[in-house]
Amino acid sequence: QVQLVESGGRLVKPGDSLRLSCAGSGRTFSNYAMAWCRQAPGKERELVAVISYTGENTNYADAVKGRFTISRDNAKKTVYLQMNGLEPEDTAVYYCGRHGGGTTWRKLVDYTYWGQGTQVTVSS
């Protein structure tokens, strides 16, 4: 019973900041790495950021390094994506995912549970 619900997406202007939230469920939430990916219309899904189960280690796609920050609050069973300096190229549906329990954590296929997504639109 893994349930993930994203929120926070909206229409913003280039250069704006936005924070996405992902509310999880289950007593084992804190034992799994979490991730954010995104998908723009007509494009493949892209892994944006990942975070270890403790929050100690993170990894980012080159396109968002220095602008996005992933974090988590295990007490609240929530993972966040802070997005600064948004660009039109960041426009996409953003999804929150939970790791599947394997030994690797930097690929999209490592995450087997996903939420419904939240739309982020950066309009120029």
pLDDT at residue 19 tops 90: yes
Residue of higher predicted confidence among 73 and 25: 73
Other Cβ atoms closer than 10 A to 97: 25
Provide CB contacts within 8 A for 9, sequence distance 6+: 18, 20, 93, 94, 118, 119, 120, 121
Asked if residue 49 lies in contact with residue 107, where contact means CB atoms within 8 angstroms, the answer is: no
- State the chain's mean pLDDT as an integer: 95
Average the pLDDT over 83-96 and give the result.
Answer: 98
pLDDT of 45 reads 96
Label residue 76 by pLDDT band (50, 70, 90). very high
